[in-house]
Chain A
Amino acid sequence: MLWQLFVTAVKALVLILALLFTFAYITWIMRRGLARFQVRLGPNRVGPAGLLQPIADAVKAIFKEDLTVARADRVLYWLAPLIAFTFALAAFAVIPVGPDGWVVANLDMGVLYVFAVSELAVYGIFLAGWASGSKYPLMGGLRSIAALVGYELALGMAILPVVLMAGSLNLQDIVAWQQTHGYFILWQFPAFLVYFVASLAEMSRTPFDFAEAEQELVAGFHTEYASMKFVSFYIAELLHWITGSALIATLFLGGWAAPFGLPQIPVLWLFLKWAIFIFLVLWIWASWFRTRYDQMIRFAWGVLLPAATVWFLITAYYVAKGGAL
């Protein structure tokens, strides 16, 4: 029992450090990648090709003065980055990066868990906005709730057909199903589209990045945060991007399993599939406008949700008829 606990702790630590490392380098990829889209170079001074830039940023952030504004609600102000960070991190615990054993927690209701945890992360953002005692963050926080009201249902309804076909809420089972029957992106293309759009909102990326719309709300919910507390938010936000992309890759693109009968190497295949979605999000980020949050809610309720519901019923009919199972 104790041994098991120890193994889990080590796994968790390794995964978290790996995630933080990924986070650090995703900032690099983000900046270099965006620079490529924008016909400029991006950070290239610290280390070869700017590879040490994330470390320089981290050191700088640690040495920043940590300010707490006088109007802030101190307890919640401190709690908010913690909530945002922890839940953003916790979502990754159930994503399998390889066969049995290559996952921190092989939950039978993994999908529900991811769903629940990523929804909880909104509390961190909203509390940050409210507890800052400042006006721009307050508006940012409210917008993040608005985004949640919009995307969450479409997200849930888009996973349902996948669960229905795979017959399990366990992510390992979903990966296994795709290995024998083919990827869900082929079986469930409409669900994939809805899920991808909705998860753009969940990751609060363009075109749904209004919660921290720089040109409108200065920095949105984290305007009043500095130093490592700000970094916690920053990490949380990019972790949503990392986790969200990994989850799409797992749900719709076969997860860690190798395609075309190539050798199975844990981590590698998930990483490559994950990179596709990381790039897609970056691409959209570099080329699109920001929507208004009321437009996003209307779009989610008027288009995404009905589409997902109809597709869900179609899938239910198909599966009940005896197809695919």
Chain B
Amino acid sequence: MRGPTTVEPVPGRTDELIINMGPQHPATHGVLKVVIGVEGERITRAVPHIGFLHRNHEKIEEARTYPQIITYTDRMDYVSGLQNELPFILAVEDLLGVEVPPRAKLIRTIFFELFRIASHLVWLGTGMLDLGAITPFLYTFRDREMILEITEKTAGARMLPNYFTFGGVRRDVHPDFFKDVAHFLDFFETRLPDYYALVLDSPVFQARAVGVGVLSRERAIARGASGPVIRASGVAYDVRKAEPYDAYPELEFEVPTRPEGDVFARFWVRFKEMEESVKIIRQALEKTPKTGPYKGKVPPRVKPKPGARYRAVEISRGHLGTYVVSDGSERPLRVKHRSPSFANLQLIPDLFVGARFADAIAILSSLDPVFGEVDR
């Protein structure tokens, strides 16, 4: 089903203002442009425009060798950088037939979940900022800094570490890694109750979030939503459970869901996910041997046999899938990314229309799009 693609003033109608929200707007999380029609403060029409951050990822990736592409995948959802590498790597590993050592799988899982927490912390800070609370931003970024430092110690880079590779990870973890992660988890578990108290329990926040931007279960499924957005509408869809990858089959965790589908539910689900991530990392830390192989046997020149493979992972924003077509050469014939924020953005007309202008901001931050990944 196609909706309207532009918003034009209706001739003769004088009570509707057409407003450009974005691309240069403080609350569009980068470069989204939504053209909205408002009657007073109620939104009558909304059409999202994307493409302001388009960098031609998929075409560039056709011209790069397989190891080079990993660097590009990092830069899709730059907020949860490391997570984006995994679907591509999993697909190529399948094509290569590479065996990943269990220890490498566990390390990958630990980093994967650490980046989920980091990404949700960025979302929390900026989301609060959108609702007018200016302080949480600094607090969550302080916590996120600890994760970035852990990543820097091991991988050498902070946000876009290019650390995962075919068959495992690029190098063994730093000797302090296990201690640092445990320390971070202890610290973070003392912070989470504060965030609960300051955000979810705040009556002002509840007034802004409960019953706002309600997304029905059917609509969420029809629009292909994923991640916290669909789980907040009562669908327990999580790639980590649906098509387990890496070390997830051996780890115990829950998929938090909530039936309401409003802004509050989406906030709540992300909070619970951070809690679950802490649990997952704790289990993985226990299971990971201190030493051992961190990478499987991979041929020096990565040339997968001809064929195609689609693998998906659950990144912070939802179902990120990568489809790799190989013709047997060093470069893929086609790489296609299925990004969660892109699909979630389709919900904008559904959720915005009928909402108030102030609510639109809350709804947008509850969808938590990252435009590096929407536009690719």
Listed in ascending order, the chain A residues whose CB lies under 8 Å from chain B are 34, 37-40, 135-136, 138-139, 142, 206-207, 209-210, 213-218, 285-295
Distance A217 CA – B20 CA, assembled complex (angstroms):
11
> Of B129, B135, B202, B204, which one neighbours A215 at CB under 8 angstroms?
B129
Q: Determine whether the beta carbon of A289 is less than 8 Å from that of B131.
A: yes
* Interface of A (DSSP majority class): helix
Contact partner of B132 among A139, A289, A295, CB < 8 A? A289
Within B165-216, which residues are at the interface with A (CB < 8 Å)?
198, 202, 204-205, 207-208
Sample (11) of A-B pairs whose CB atoms are under 8 Å apart = A37-B135, A38-B139, A40-B138, A135-B17, A139-B357, A288-B132, A288-B204, A289-B132, A292-B356, A292-B358, A295-B208
A287 to B198, CA, bound (A): 8
Task: Report the interface size class on chain B.
Answer: 20 to 34
Seed contacts A135-B17, A215-B26; 15 additional CB < 8 Å A-B pairs: A37-B135, A136-B19, A139-B357, A206-B132, A209-B132, A216-B358, A218-B25, A289-B133, A289-B202, A289-B204, A289-B205, A292-B207, A292-B358, A293-B41, A293-B358
Assess A34 versus B134: contact at CB under 8 Å? Given A291-B208, A292-B208.
Answer: yes
**Within 8 Å CB of A286, what residues of B?**
134-135
Taken together as a complex, chains A and B put the C-alpha atoms of A147 and B185 apart, in Å, by 44
Nearest B residue to A290 via CB reads: B132
Q: Is B85 an interface residue (CB 8 A)?
A: no
> In the bound complex, how far is the Cα of B27 from the Cα of A292, in angstroms?
16
Contact present for A39 and B142 (CB under 8 Å) = yes
- Chain B residues near A295 (CB, 8 Å)? 207-208
Distance of B153 from chain A, by nearest CB (Å): 23
Whether a CB of chain A sits under 8 angstroms from the CB of B262 is: no
Closest residue to B40 on the A side, CB-wise? Answer: A142
Given A291-B207, A291-B208: A216 and B357 interface contact (C-beta under 8 Å): yes
Q: Which residues of B contact A37 (CB under 8 A)?
A: 135
Q: How far is the CA of A37 from the CA of B135 in the complex (A)?
A: 7
Determine whether B373 belongs to the interface, using a CB cutoff of 8 Å to chain A: no
Query: Could you tell me which residues of chain B, from 197 to 245, have a CB within 8 Å of some CB in chain A?
Result: 198, 202, 204-205, 207-208
A210 CA to B208 CA, complexed, in Å = 13
Q: How far is the CB of A146 from chain B (nearest CB, A)?
A: 9
* Residue contact A289 to B128, C-beta cutoff 8 Å: yes
Contact B204 A294 (CB under 8 A): no
Q: How far is the CA of A295 from the CA of B207 in the complex (A)?
A: 8
- Residues of chain B within 8 A of A40, CB atoms compared: 138
In the bound complex, residues from chain A placing their C-beta under 8 Å from that of B308 are none
Q: Is B130 an interface residue (CB 8 A)?
A: yes
Q: Within 8 Å of chain A (Cβ to Cβ): is B146?
A: no
A219 CB to closest chain B CB (Å) equals 9
In the complex with contacts A289-B128, A289-B133, A216-B208 CB distance below 8 A: no
Q: Is B361 an interface residue (CB 8 A)?
A: yes
Minimal beta-carbon separation of A37 from chain B (angstroms): 6
Residue of B whose beta carbon sits closest to that of A210? B358
Decide yes or no whether B359 CB sits under 8 A from chain A.
yes
- Asked whether A216 lies within 8 Å of B361 as measured between CB atoms, the reply is yes
Residues of A within 8 A of B207 (CB): 291-292, 295
- Of the listed residues B27, B131, B132, B359, the one surrounded by the most CB atoms of chain A closer than 10 A to its CB is B132
B27 partner, pick from A38, A135, A216, A291, beta carbons under 8 A: A216
A215-B361 in contact given A39-B138, A39-B139 (Cβ < 8 Å): yes
A291 to chain B: closest residue by CB: B204
> Which residues of B26-43 are within 8 A (CB) of A?
26-27, 38, 40-41
Q: A70–B128 Cα gap in the complex (Å)?
A: 36
Closest to B364 in A: A215
- A residues less than 8 Å from B27 (CB atoms): 215-216
Within the assembled complex, what's the spacing in Å between the Cα atoms of A292 and B363? 14
Chain B residue numbers with a CB within 8 Å of A215 are 26-27, 129-132, 361
Q: Separation in Å of the A224 CB from the closest CB of chain B?
A: 14
**How far does the alpha carbon of A139 sit from the alpha carbon of B42 in the complex, in Å?**
11
Given contacts A139-B41, A292-B208, contact A38 B357 (CB under 8 A): no
